Amino acid sequence: MDNSFKLDTKDFNQTIDRYIKLRNADYLTEVNRRAANIIMKAMQYTTRTNPDKVVSELGAIQQVRRLKGGAGRETKAKKNRDFYKGIPAGYKIFNWRRRFRPQSLPPGLRGKGLGGKAMGAKYDSFVKAARRSCAYIVAGWIPALNRYKEQGIKIKSDIKRSPSKKTSAGKGYAIPAQRAGDYLKTIFANSANGVEKIGVKPLQIAFRLEEQDMREFMEREEQKRLNKLKR
């Protein structure tokens, strides 16, 4: 499945070229800085699903594992302490996804219909995977953003951990701008599954806002020049 897309950045490229010349800024630094800004804005404007809403829609009930022996105390182990138990409708949703939409599930959760204890364990993993996916497209920008951070660009993100490289979100990348004669460019990509459906509009907004910021600066500088001529 091809989940790639490209944006036409011709106007943006012309704007940043004029902007850098006007400011007499360093091309390499400014191109990388603007690229990181675009990524951060794309993350900001990407819609994230509410995890609690996802749990509710999947017919899941959050519970806490208890210690054996009848004490009724919660286990101290953080790993797998919380788990999700489904109502009958929730189990039906999971089995339906396994049968008709297996590509929407992690490989370990695909297969034929389940029941009994096998259903309980798999359903818990199903709900937890759905919760993690709420910010999956946003997380897909982290690998690219980290490459600009390595170049000394200051970045901000509320997602602290990079996605696993085994996932599609972890396969994003960036090639920061490097000096190569008169030709200079940077490339960045989000490889998360579904980015072509959810990520296009936020990225377009991000490019537009960055271009608007540069245009407004140039307009202010032009107005200053005209004001001087009037004196």
pLDDT in tens, 75-107: 455 555 678 889 999 999 999 989 998 877 888
The set of residues, in sequence order, having a beta carbon less than 8 Å from that of 187 and lying 6+ positions away, is 174, 175
Which pLDDT score, from 0 to 100, does residue 2 have?
44
pLDDT single digits (tens) 155-171: 888 777 788 888 888 99
Confidence of residue 58 (pLDDT cuts 50, 70, 90): confident
Tell me the per-residue pLDDT of 14-37, one tens digit each, with 9 for 90 and over: 999 999 999 999 999 999 999 999
> What pLDDT score was predicted for residue 78?
53
Whether the model clears a pTM of 0.75, i.e. scores above it, the answer is no
Q: Is the pLDDT of residue 195 over 90?
A: no
Q: Could you tell me what percent of the chain has a pLDDT over 70? A: 89
pLDDT, tens digit, for every residue of 124-133? 999 988 887 7
pLDDT, mean over the chain:
85
Integer Cα distance of 149 and 152 in angstroms: 5
DSSP 168: S
Is-contact 136 112, C-beta < 8 A? no
Q: Are 59 and 89 in contact (CB under 8 A)?
A: yes
Q: Confidence class of residue 136 from pLDDT cuts 50, 70 and 90? A: confident
Which residue matches tokens 């396994």?
A: 98
What per-residue confidence (pLDDT) applies to 180?
A: 62
Phi/psi region, residue 36 (left: phi>0; alpha: psi -120 to 50; beta: rest), is alpha
Distance CA 183, CA 125 (A): 49
Q: What is the pLDDT of residue 44?
A: 93
